[in-house]
Amino acid sequence: MTKREAEKELAKFQAEVEAGEYIAPEKMTFADFVEEWKEKYAKKHLGPKTYETYVLHLRNRIIPAMGHLRLDQIKPIHLISFLENLEEEGLRQDGKQGKLSQGTIEYYHKILRNVFKRAEEWKLIKESPAASVKNPKTAYKEAQVYDQKQVEALFEALEKEPLTWKVMITLAVTCGLRRGELLGLEWEHIDLEAGTIHIKQNLTYVSGQGFVIKEPKTKNSIRKVTVPQHVIKMLRKLKLQKMEERMKADDLWEGGEHFFVFSSWNGKPINPSSVKTWWQRFTDRHNLPYIRFHDLRHTSATLLINQGVHMKTISARLGHANILTTMNIYGHALEEADRAAAEKFDTLFQTKKNRLN
């Protein structure tokens, strides 16, 4: 630090003391530090939705458990005990029976790592107590997917639905797009002549902020996906419908500079929660087994695996960071495909046996 930088920090320190905002590190509680972390780090460096989720988990469970403890007195054993307590029955807050998922517990560990790492970087503690706490192991949960017959039944049921929903669900299955990627899709991202979609942004809804558009989390998620020609025809029809809606809305148009593929009549994007609600009601109406909307993405990958498409191609379509992620998630489907491959050799032996007879 230069002399000028040191003087600047001293001025900030004096201002905090005079305003009564300075808290000596040895007197700072974990709850006090979380407020500092929110203002000096989280709001600036975390995505809006991630920030909202972190703060929710901190407020609901972490601060009630250790907010009263002095920051420098929190040891690894405190964090281990906290994470172990999360494995007890009856802690779910969604009304469902059973324990918190391993994924949720791992998320709490991730938050604790982030908060204490900042305290270490800012020299408020010598070492993060979370650094020596092992990450809870998360087993990849086998995805619930539709088989080929169920997908055929799904497409048949979609023929009776509004075009917007028909195209959205069809793209989820045929291209493996995430919900946020679908909702953030704009017409300028679609090349109807080339038959491709450029995935370059994600749309979420954050309480207090409204709709938030941002780039995908990883560079691999920014990708071009080839669309089946049958779906291109559906997209052409939908684009014409949306252009007519835009003209009719006139001054009531609220899309601004954006022209979303999936929107309400006045150009506003569709709320992610509305997609979930519609999907649940749709499966009920048509007596289809309920799977999560995100599982349509898993269905897409599984169908491609069963068709013998190379895993690298599937990984690229899904926007995974690497092929190992894809293989871990779809291990079960790969085992099924491997068994089918082995059966191909049985047909060769059967042919040889028939020839000898």
Q: CATH no. for residue 56? A: 1.10.150.130
- pLDDT at position 286 is 95
Q: CATH no. for residue 272?
A: 1.10.443.10
| Residue 3: Cβ within 10 Å count | 7
Q: Which pLDDT belongs to residue 138? A: 56
User: What pLDDT does residue 100 have?
Assistant: 81
AA identity, residue 270: I
Domain that holds residue 285: 148-338
Highest mean pLDDT among 13-27, 151-165, 212-226: 151-165
Higher pLDDT, 346 or 32: 32
pTM of the entire structure?
A: 0.70
pLDDT of 18 above 80 = no
pLDDT at residue 153 greater than cutoff 90:
yes
| Residue 350, domain member (yes or no) | no
Average pLDDT over residues 310-331: 76
* Beta carbons of 237 and 163 less than 8 angstroms apart: yes
311 confidence band (pLDDT: 50, 70, 90): confident
Does 222 lie in the same domain as 117? no
> Which band of pLDDT confidence, cut at 50, 70 and 90, is reported for residue 169?
very high
Question: Is the pLDDT score of 287 beyond 90?
Answer: yes
Mean pLDDT, residues 291-305: 90
Q: Measuring CA to CA, how many Å separate 262 from each of 176, 185, 208? A: 16, 7, 22
**pLDDT at 139 exceeding the cut of 80:** no
Looking at the domain assignment, is residue 290 inside a domain? yes
Residues 202 and 300 in one domain: yes
The count of domains in the chain is: 2
Residues 194, 177, 259, 277, CA torsion sign? positive
* Pick from 197, 194, 189: nearest CA to 172: 197
Is the same domain home to 177 and 251? yes
| Residue 334 and residue 228 in one domain | yes
Looking at the fold, whether 284 and 323 belong to one and the same domain comes out as: yes
82 and 216 in a single domain? The answer is: no
Whether residues 76 and 157 share a domain: the answer is: no
